[in-house]
């Protein structure tokens, strides 16, 4: 399958996830990875989906795949949520140690609430929020819009 088809499968998976058709979204991400194993977006989106499905060990494996391909990718900090959920303190410490330099470089793209579990410096929390807000603004704010497990209404 051509790489552009793998990217289309990632987009399909994203759409299915928004429709809460998680099993189909996961299958789409898996097909994208089968077609193009080095597609970072497929690893990250699959890991994010698995985190939302509470399949944290599998999610961490997906983040590891993304980090192997793109060690400085800002979305890789999503591993923090999964690591915190399963009390993988070694991984949490490793991620927390990388937070200050990543924030300074503008590379943290994780919810500020997850960041609170990594460090207690309010300036880092504020900086992470400012880095995360553009990501939030790209999402559709419609009735029933979800971020993680929280549902928003307009």
Radius of gyration of the chain (CA): 15
Domain count for the chain: 2
| Residues in contact with 134: Cβ distance below 8 Å, sequence separation at least 6, in sequence order | none
**What pLDDT digit, counting tens, does each position of 112-154 carry?**
777 777 777 777 777 777 777 776 655 545 455 555 555 554 4
Query: Does 24 map to a domain?
Result: yes
pTM: 0.74
Asked if pLDDT for residue 92 goes beyond 50, the answer is: yes
Are 148 and 101 in the same domain? yes
The answer to whether 15 and 7 are in contact (CB under 8 A) is no
Whether residues 136 and 97 fall in one domain: yes
Same domain, 153 and 109: yes
Residue 105 in any domain: the answer is yes
pLDDT, average across residues 35-58: 94
Domain end, chosen from 44, 71, 98, is at 71
Residue 40 is predicted with a pLDDT of 93
In a domain, 78, yes or no: no
- The angle formed by the CA atoms of residues 150, 60 and 102, to the nearest 5 degrees, is 80
Residue 123 included in any domain: yes
């Amino acid at each position: 399958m051509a790489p552009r088809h793998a990217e289309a499968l990632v987009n399909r998976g994203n759409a299915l996830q928004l429709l809460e058709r998680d099993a189909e979204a996961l299958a789409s991400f898996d097909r994208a990875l089968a077609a193009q194993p080095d597609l970072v977006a497929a690893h990250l989106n699959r890991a994010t989906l698995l985190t939302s499905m509470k399949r944290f060990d599998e999610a961490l494996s997906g983040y590891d795949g993304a980090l192997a391909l793109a060690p400085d990718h800002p979305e890789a900090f999503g591993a923090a949520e999964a690591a915190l959920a399963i009390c993988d303190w070694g991984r949490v410490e490793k991620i927390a140690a990388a937070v200050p330099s990543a924030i300074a470089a503008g590379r943290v793209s994780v919810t500020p609430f997850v960041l609170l579990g990594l460090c207690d410096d309010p300036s880092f929390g504020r900086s992470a929020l400012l880095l995360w807000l553009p990501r939030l603004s790209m999402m559709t704010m419609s009735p029933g819009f979800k971020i993680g497990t929280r549902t928003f209404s307009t």
